[in-house]
Amino acid sequence: MAGDQVTLLNIWASSFGMRVRISLAEKAVKFEYSAQDLRNKTALLLQMNPVHSKIPVLVHNGKPVCESVIIVQYIDEAWKNKAPLLPSDPYQGAQSRFNIEADCPKLIAYCKRCLEKESVSKCLEDPQKVSDFVVMMRKKLGLE
């Protein structure tokens, strides 16, 4: 919607954040990026997500939306200018919100098709860079 103020509180390595960035790209929503430091949480993050104080948080015209799956659904409903992100069929919709971890050929094929989309490939970070970042953070936090 024209004149909307959209801000994404995020960290670059977050796969939860990537999910939101892909959704915004699919809907061609322009947004401000607010990079967060999770070791030193900003007053903005604590104010926008007082329950979990986690990223990603989407702030739309001053109102926060938290939890990546909820944010994706919100984006789908708030910006109807482009094709829907989620299926309209209730059962398919429920399935699409569930993180299926089993080895599933149809899911893998779907993921490959997704990677061919610019909105997805542009929002995904280099897996090695993300892995190095996670290893570094785990060491810093004494989790190794």
Ligand X SMILES: N[C@@H](CCC(=O)N[C@@H](CS)C(=O)NCC(=O)O)C(=O)O
Q: Shortest gap between Cβ of 142 and ligand X (angstroms)?
A: 15
How many residues touch ligand X under the rule CB under 6 A: the total is 10
Q: Does 76 bind ligand X (CB under 6 A)?
A: no
For ligand X, which residue of 6, 12, 34, 38 counts as binding (CB under 6 A)? Answer: 38
Distance set, CA 115 to CA 26, 125, 143 (Å): 13, 12, 32
Of the ranges 66-74, 85-93, 95-103, 108-116, which one interacts with ligand X (CB under 6 A)? 66-74
Give me the residues paired with residue 10 across strands. Answer: 35
For residue 37, the minimal CB distance to ligand X (Å) is 10
Cα 54 versus chain centre, distance? 12
Angstrom distance (rounded) from CA 64 to CA 56:
10
By beta-carbon proximity to ligand X, the closer residue of 54 and 86 is 54
What is the DSSP annotation of 1-33? Answer: -TT--EEEEE-TT-HHHHHHHHHHHHTT---EE
Binding site for ligand X (CB under 6 A): 14, 16, 38, 53-56, 67-69
